[in-house]
Structure 1
Amino acid sequence: MTTTTYAVLSEGLCKRYGDVHALSGLDLAVPEGTVCGVLGPNGAGKTTAVRVLTTLTSPDSGSARVAGRDVVRDPAGVRERIAVTGQYASVDGDLTGAENLRLFAGLLRAPRSRADELLERFGLAEAAGRPARTYSGGMRRRLDLAASLIVPPSVLFLDEPTTGLDPHSRNGIWDAVRGLASQGTTVLLTTQYLEEADRLADEVVLVDGGRAAHRGTPAELKARIGSYAEVVVAEPARLEAAAAVLDRLTGSLPALDAERRTVGAVTTDPTLTLPRLVREIDAAGVPILDASLRPPTLDEVFLRLTDRKELAA
């Protein structure tokens, strides 16, 4: 029988700021060497959870252990075993890439060779002698991530790691995160790029109202809400008519996109097939350019499970 070892384990975490209950009994269990995506709308408690788990604030009640250390009884022990990379790069723009990493190496009593190793590993060796302020956004994020790894952490907390990056730079960060997990580092990722969680996370925890409202692999969460029916109308003026058909067929509030001329809705009806969808749309006299019945995206799962019409920024 295999026993799971958890790198992050919290039970009943509560945190209150005045009349606001930021955490209301948050339970987390993140196995070692995995990537856990923590999602949730604004005000759900994600930031407070990370602050508690990284010992930046104390919970009012409940317990949490990170890398085997209690966040309240042994915060110093937790800090020795974790790294935190915030939303914005914290490197010094006046120092070169090499100087930034060598500074961190000196402060953390790591060998100078560790800085050189990380510059090579993150594709920054050629730019190592340039001031960090001349780096692109993706390069600065990679340098920031490298700085977090001067001393290899047991648990890495990543907050919005690819905010504002172009797709190429984003893919580079994703590759780095996958590499860390494959080498045994546990990654707790908070992000609003749901594609990011879909691509990286072994498990997704959807936090809402200060507690873990839903959890599972991306595939499990998608299966939970069924399929997504979508049609592209030939005439924008017929969007409402198409929406009425989807509302009747799925029992879900359809989402309309006037710019793309699409209307779509989640369905859990196993009898709804693509041919039936097309027949019903045709019977309503709505000319369409395309129709599909597919698994939902994680964005659609998020909207459905949090009952929000728009993603929180």
Structure 2
Amino acid sequence: MADTPPAVVVEDIRKSYGDLHAVDGVSFSVAEGEFFGILGPNGAGKTTTLEIIEGLRKPDGGTVRLLGQSPFPRDLALLPRIGVQLQASAFFEKLTAREQLETFASLYGVSAATAGEMLELVGLTDKADTREDKLSGGQRQRLSIACALVHDPDVVFLDEPTAALDPQARRNLWDVLRAIRERGKTIIYTTHYLDEAEILCDRVAIMDHGKILAMDTPAALVRGLDAPAHVILERGSLPLAEALALVGADDATENEQSLTISTRTPAPLLSALAERGTLDGLQVRTATLEDVFLHLTGREYRA
């Protein structure tokens, strides 16, 4: 609803460690029920920003309102309304997945039956009786998220939940994140995977060196870049000079593996290639958030 106040309001927060400005004048708001991503390479200031919003760290300047309250100093009345999954999760030793969740549930006065529901949500029902230290990396991440959700919080903070996971485990976790979103939760998460955020987030803020460089929906950021599409063919599909002469071709380059044609009007270019029978193995690459990052910083993205 338009009249619903934002779940999070951040205004000009700052945090320095000596000469390092970890967070340098960051401002944004997150609507209730929004999936908001804070993106950037390692060292961009993402985790520090998240910790300030959660109330784990005091800012040097600026203000934060979390569900209408100041998160720092720690507000005990606020804690049951937020769920936090940290980069490095700590579990109770020698407990099974179900016992971990039941223990977390008891801390919030939640019934043990909720543990079973959370295990199902994160796809760990078949691992309920497996000790945490016997779970795979992806399974431990899902258990960590379940622990953050067991008390049914209004706002969920996830700090690089897919870091260090293999591609299959990452995609499995995407399904979990989508399921959380479908429950109407407000999600604020950090990641250095731009492709992931492009798929999952309603809006993103791209950070580097403690500052927000751009903020909008992923589609709007990419659209605002006004970058050409790249049509990639196998080398030898047609001569470079002929590629440059095609209708719709703005530029063309060739390397040992492929021929790449840049275009802002892909439809006539693809039609011209079809007429020449050169569509086999063709790939079309449109602009991505990584291109936005490159445009904003003038350098390659570093994960």
Same fold (TM over 0.5): yes
Q: For residues 15 and 255 of structure 1, what CA distance do their matches in structure 2 show?
A: 45
1:308 correspondence with 2:299: yes
Q: For residues 121 and 267 of structure 2, what CA distance do their matches in structure 1 show?
A: 47
Q: Which residue identity lines up with residue 151 of structure 2 in the other structure? A: V
**Change beyond 3 A, Cα 1:111–1:62:** same
For the Cα contact (< 8 Å) 2:55–2:74, is it kept in 1?
no
**1:257, CA displacement in angstroms?**
8.1
For the Cα contact (< 8 Å) 1:98–1:119, is it kept in 2?
yes
Work out the percentage of aligned pairs sharing the same amino acid. 36
Aligned residue number for residue 31 of structure 1: 31
**What do the CA deviations read for 1:44-76 (whole angstroms, capped 9, x no partner)?**
221211111111211111111112211235543
Q: Which structure 2 segments of 5+ residues have no match? A: 273-277
**What do the CA deviations read for 1:154-200 (whole angstroms, capped 9, x no partner)?**
11111111123344432332222222222221111111122210111
**Change beyond 3 A, Cα 1:134–1:28:** same
**What do the CA deviations read for 1:80-119 (whole angstroms, capped 9, x no partner)?**
3211112344334621111111111222221111112212
Q: For residues 122 and 283 of structure 2, what CA distance do their matches in structure 1 show?
A: 40
Aligned residue number for residue 149 of structure 2: 149
For the Cα contact (< 8 Å) 1:91–1:140, is it kept in 2?
no
**1:142, CA displacement in angstroms?**
1.4
Aligned residue number for residue 191 of structure 1: 191
Q: Which residue identity lines up with residue 141 of structure 2 in the other structure? A: R
Secondary structure of 2:127's aligned partner: coil
Aligned residue number for residue 47 of structure 2: 47
Q: For residues 120 and 289 of structure 1, what CA distance do their matches in structure 2 show?
A: 43
Q: Which residue identity lines up with residue 235 of structure 2 in the other structure? A: A
For the Cα contact (< 8 Å) 1:38–1:190, is it kept in 2?
yes
**Change beyond 3 A, Cα 1:89–1:233:** same
1:295 correspondence with 2:273: no
Aligned residue number for residue 283 of structure 1: none
Q: Which residue identity lines up with residue 151 of structure 1 in the other structure? A: H
Q: For residues 16 and 112 of structure 1, what CA distance do their matches in structure 2 show?
A: 42
**1:17, CA displacement in angstroms?**
1.5
1:66 correspondence with 2:66: yes
Q: Which residue identity lines up with residue 202 of structure 1 in the other structure? A: D
**What do the CA deviations read for 1:7-59 (whole angstroms, capped 9, x no partner)?**
11111111121122222211111101010011123332212111111112111
Q: For residues 283 and 171 of structure 2, what CA distance do their matches in structure 1 show?
A: 28
For the Cα contact (< 8 Å) 1:82–1:156, is it kept in 2?
yes
Q: Which residue identity lines up with residue 312 of structure 1 in the other structure? A: R
**1:255, CA displacement in angstroms?**
10
Q: For residues 255 and 207 of structure 2, what CA distance do their matches in structure 1 show?
A: 27
For the Cα contact (< 8 Å) 1:10–1:64, is it kept in 2?
yes
**1:205, CA displacement in angstroms?**
0.8
Secondary structure of 2:7's aligned partner: strand
Residue correspondence of structure 1 range 235-250 to structure 2 within 5 A: 249=250
**Change beyond 3 A, Cα 1:25–1:169:** same
Q: Which residue identity lines up with residue 229 of structure 2 in the other structure? A: Y
**Change beyond 3 A, Cα 1:211–1:75:** farther
Aligned residue number for residue 215 of structure 1: 215
Q: Which residue identity lines up with residue 62 of structure 2 in the other structure? A: G
Which of 293-302 and 63-72 deviates more?
293-302
For the Cα contact (< 8 Å) 1:70–1:78, is it kept in 2?
no
Q: Which structure 1 segments of 5+ residues have no match? A: 280-286
**What do the CA deviations read for 1:191-235 (whole angstroms, capped 9, x no partner)?**
112221011100011123323221111110110112332434516
**1:264, CA displacement in angstroms?**
7.5
1:135 correspondence with 2:126: no
Secondary structure of 2:43's aligned partner: coil
**Change beyond 3 A, Cα 1:20–1:233:** same
**1:249, CA displacement in angstroms?**
4.5
TM-score by length of 1: 0.80
The CA RMSD measured in Å over matched residues stands at 3.4
